Amino acid sequence: MKKLFVTAAMLSCLGVATAYAQTTADSTAAAGGEPEMDFSQFAGDIEEASGVKRYCTSKIFGISPTKLVSLGYDYQLGYDMTSNTGGGTKESTNKVSAAHGLRFLANFPVISHNKITVNLGATYMETNYSFEKPAELTSGLTKSLNASALRSTGVNLTVFKPLNEKNFILLQTSHDLNGDYRLNEWQSLSYLRHSVLGVFGWKKHDRLQFGFGAARTYRVGALNYIPVVLYNYTSENRKWGVEAVFPARAHYRRSFSPRSLLMLGYELEGHTYRLQNRDMVFNADGKMHHDLELKRSELRLRVIYERSLYDFIWLSVQAGYRYNWRNSYNIDHGDPFRSFFSNDPYVFTNSVTNPLYFNVSINLVSP
């Protein structure tokens, strides 16, 4: 099963090279934990022949270009991590000098028709933690993060189904393997986490589309079921617009030219990560704890600048403030459901302060 999962991800990455000519529409990258709405990947043609039923496309004017392949690096400046080792032990605070890692995204169409479009994608993200004084780490969490990065590897499927000239249905699923596993030591696929999103939408004209739906998501660091609002708009002069999938993300867009734009907004990013406890560092109340999952969730307030370097090769640079979301970095047994209002106790509690962060990526976008 492990080989099958890895093979599927590799095939999705290789296949995108043959699909760069597909016209696409949403600009958000896969961020760890929920399916991304890449609308302009679905460029079905409206039938013009008289008497033939017509279907809407997912395209609207002016929306930021969709990334077919993206390779980037994410870097967070230093911050404090405070951990409770459990069993009434005093909290300890350690300085994280940096948190950083690679990010990769790829997607391509497997079915492209004016009546339905299906896209397959793959993502990989990692976060390495560097501590100022690694020899003085005392908590299970800091020792675990110092020994191994947090990783997320996933595949996703997107189905865009136009119903007529004005209405459409969007379905997306994402299947992610998250944890402190190493690339030569993959964890069991029984720890896959599944996210689902469904939206019923309207395309009012070529500058506006909106919709309403629901999602099964881990963006708040634990399993949750939430309503979703889609809203993409471009002004008549095509100089500015809004791109939003609330509450996951929302951005104001300012276009300087067809090859240069600036975005200002936020994204909620998070997931659950299995901690393998290799060195038996998680213990409390006189017993060793296993089957642990770290709840990680952060709100990223950011500015993004994107421009074309050459034809379909674009540079994306973003800078912002990473705000630690409620209960982020706490540790649970297994994968329990937690609502926004849940106050159930955690096995271990931790907290982090909020640093600035930077992200740079090179992207192959749709023409």
Specify the pLDDT at position 127.
97
Q: 274-288 pLDDT, tens per residue?
A: 998 877 777 655 555
pLDDT range class, residue 157, cuts 50, 70, 90? very high
Q: What percent of the chain has pLDDT over 70?
A: 80
**Does the pLDDT at position 222 exceed 90?**
no
Better pLDDT: 144 or 22 = 144
Specify the pLDDT at position 104.
97
The winner for highest mean pLDDT among 89-103, 224-238, 341-355 is: 224-238
**Does the pLDDT at position 87 exceed 90?**
no
Q: 232-254 pLDDT, tens per residue?
A: 999 999 999 999 999 999 999 99
Specify the pLDDT at position 229.
97
pLDDT range class, residue 90, cuts 50, 70, 90? low
**Which residue range forms the structural domain that includes residue 314?**
2-365
For the ranges 37-51, 201-215, 316-330, 340-354, the lowest mean pLDDT is seen at: 37-51
Specify the pLDDT at position 299.
95
**Does the pLDDT at position 11 exceed 60?**
no
Specify the pLDDT at position 10.
41
Q: 306-325 pLDDT, tens per residue?
A: 999 999 999 999 999 999 98
Better pLDDT: 108 or 256 = 256
pLDDT range class, residue 30, cuts 50, 70, 90? very low
Q: How large is the average pLDDT for residues 93-100? A: 95
**Does the pLDDT at position 38 exceed 80?**
no
- Work out the mean pLDDT of the chain and round it to a whole number: 83
pLDDT range class, residue 19, cuts 50, 70, 90? very low
pLDDT range class, residue 116, cuts 50, 70, 90? very high
**Whole-structure pTM value:** 0.82
Q: What percent of the chain has pLDDT over 90?
A: 61
Q: How large is the average pLDDT for residues 104-118? A: 91
Q: How many domains does the chain have?
A: 1
Residue 342's CATH number: 2.40.160.40
* The two three-digit tokens of residue 263, written as one number: 């975005």
- Chain-centroid distance of CA 296 in Å reads 12
